[in-house]
Chains A and B, each alone.
Chain A
Amino acid sequence: MKVLIVDDNSAIRDVLKKMLDEMGIRTIETCHGKEAISKLENNTDIKLVILDWNMPEMNGIELLDWLCSQNKLSYSPKIMVVTTENEVNKIEMAMEKGADEYIMMPFTKEILEGKLSILGIEKESHV
C-alpha cells in the first residue's frame, strides 16, 4: 500500500512524507500532474492520492477530472486535496468533482491521521 503525493511545493511534499513515514506508510512523490498519471498507471497499490490544486503542467483540478473520469485506472485510489484557508470554497468543488476528503494547511500529524482514519487508510500490518 502506498500514498502518492502530488505537489509542486517540495516543502509540503517533505512534510507529508515525513508524517506518513512516521505512521509507517510508504509514499511516492511527484511535482506535477502529468507525471502523477504515469505513477498511477504503474503502481496499482496506491490507496490514496494527496493532491495540490496549483501545479504546473497539469493542475490539480485537471488531474482530479482525469482521476474521476471513468475507467481511466483499473483500481480506485481515494483522493484528498490540499487547500489553504482562503480556498475553502474549493472544498465543495473538489467534492463535487469526486474527491473524497480535503486537508487544510497548516495541519498537524494528528489532523492528517484523523483524515486517513476517515478515509479508512491504515498502515498495513506485516503478515
Chain B
Amino acid sequence: MVSNDILQFFFSLLYQESGLLLDESKRYLIETRLEPVAAQEGFASIDALGKKLMERNDALLRQTVVDAMTTNETSFFRDKSHFEILRDEIIPRLIQSNEKTKKIRIWCAACSTGQEPYSIGIHLKEIGVKLKDWDIQILATDISEPVLSQARLGVYSQHEVQRGLSAPQLLRYFSKEGLAWKISSEIRNMVQFRKLNLLADLSSVGTSDIIFCRNILIYFDLKTKKNVINKLFDLLNLGGSLFLGGSEAFMGIKTSLVRVEAKKACYYKKENISQNGGTDSRSGMKRRGVCQT
C-alpha cells in the first residue's frame, strides 16, 4: 500500500501538472494506475517512484505519471445531440455569419485518442455541399502524448469503431488494416493535433468559432474550472459556441456565455452583452439568459 505522504505528494503533483483533483477516496486509482508505471520505470514500489520524484524534478517521469492518471475514455459521435445541434443550428449560422471569409475554426480542447475531432470532420463532410469551398480547420489538443500519437495515426480497433460509427460511415471514411481500421486521409487532413495543457498559456491557439471541451472539466476543482472557462471564453469568436460534456455545467461559475438548449442537450454561446436574454427570433431557440449561479 502507498504511504500517506507519497499519496499526498502524487495528489499535489497531479493537481499542479494537469488540474486533476483527487482525494483519499481515489487511493485505488493511484495504486492501480501507478503500479505498472513504477514497475516499467524500474522502481520496487509506488513509494519508491514517489520518493524519486520528490528528490529530483524529473519532467519526463512527471509526465509519465500524469499520462497514466488521465482518463481517456471517449468514442465516436459521443453525445449525438451535439452533432445534431452542429448540423442544424451552428453550421447554418456560421455559413451566414462567415460568408465573407468562408473560414470556420474548430478546437477540440481535450481530444484524447482523436474520436471527437474525427467525428466532427466526418460530420462536416456529411453536411457537405454548402461547405465545399470553405476553409475549415479542426485543431485538436490534449495534455497526453500517448493519446495524441494514437490520434495522429488514426488507427482504431474493431471495438473502437463500433462505438458510435454507423456501418456506412465506417466503410466510407476508414480502410481496413488487418483487424483494425484507419481513418481516410480526407478526414485525417482536416485535423491538426498538438500537445497542450489547458492550465498553461493558451494564446498560441488563436480564436475559434466552435470549441469542444467535453468531459474534462469534471476532473477539475472550481478554481481550475473558472480559470479554464475564462480562457475558453476569450478564445471564442463573437457568436461562437462552446460544448461541454453531457454531465458538465458551469455550476457556481459566473460567465457571460449564454446557455442555449436544443435537442435535449445544450451548448453555450458568446454574444454581445446587449443581446442577452429573450429568444433568438431567427431560430426560435429556447434560452436561459446569462448563467450567473
Q: Which residues of A contact B (CB under 8 A)?
A: 85-86, 88-89, 91-92, 95, 99-104, 107, 110-111, 114, 117-118
Q: Say how far B265's CB is from chain A's closest CB, in angstroms.
A: 14
Give chain B residues whose Cβ lies under 8 Å from the Cβ of A117: 80
When the two chains form their complex, are residues A85 and B158 in contact, meaning their CB atoms are under 8 A apart? yes
When the two chains form their complex, are residues A88 and B179 in contact, meaning their CB atoms are under 8 A apart? yes
B residues 167-191 touching A (CB-CB < 8 Å): 167-168, 170-171, 176, 179
Assuming the A-B contacts A88-B158, A104-B158, are A118 and B166 also in contact, with contact meaning beta carbons closer than 8 angstroms in the complex? yes
B26 contacts partner chain A, Cβ-Cβ < 8 Å? no
Give chain A residues whose Cβ lies under 8 Å from the Cβ of B159: 104
A103 to B176, CA, bound (A): 16
B289 contacts partner chain A, Cβ-Cβ < 8 Å? no
Q: Say how far B123's CB is from chain A's closest CB, in angstroms.
A: 14
Q: How large is the interface on B (under 10, 10 to 19, 20 to 34, 35 or more residues)?
A: 10 to 19
Nearest B residue to A117 via CB reads B80
Q: Say how far B74's CB is from chain A's closest CB, in angstroms.
A: 13
When the two chains form their complex, are residues A104 and B166 in contact, meaning their CB atoms are under 8 A apart? no
Give chain A residues whose Cβ lies under 8 Å from the Cβ of B171: 91-92, 95
Query: Binding site of A, secondary structure by majority: helix, strand, loop or mixed?
Result: helix
Give chain A residues whose Cβ lies under 8 Å from the Cβ of B167: 91, 95, 99-102
Question: Which of B80, B163, B164, B176 touches A88 (beta carbons < 8 Å)?
Answer: B176
B162 contacts partner chain A, Cβ-Cβ < 8 Å? yes
Question: Which of A86, A92, A95, A111 touches B162 (beta carbons < 8 Å)?
Answer: A111
25 A/B residue pairs, CB under 8 Å, sorted by A: A85-B158, A85-B179, A86-B179, A88-B158, A88-B176, A88-B179, A89-B176, A91-B167, A91-B170, A91-B171, A92-B171, A95-B167, A95-B171, A99-B167, A101-B166, A101-B167, A102-B167, A103-B162, A104-B162, A110-B163, A111-B162, A111-B163, A114-B163, A114-B164, A118-B166
A101 to B170, CA, bound (A): 10
A17 to B159, CA, bound (A): 21
Give chain B residues whose Cβ lies under 8 Å from the Cβ of A91: 167, 170-171
A102 to B80, CA, bound (A): 19
Those 3 A-B pairs whose CB atoms lie nearest each other, nearest first: A118-B166, A101-B167, A102-B167
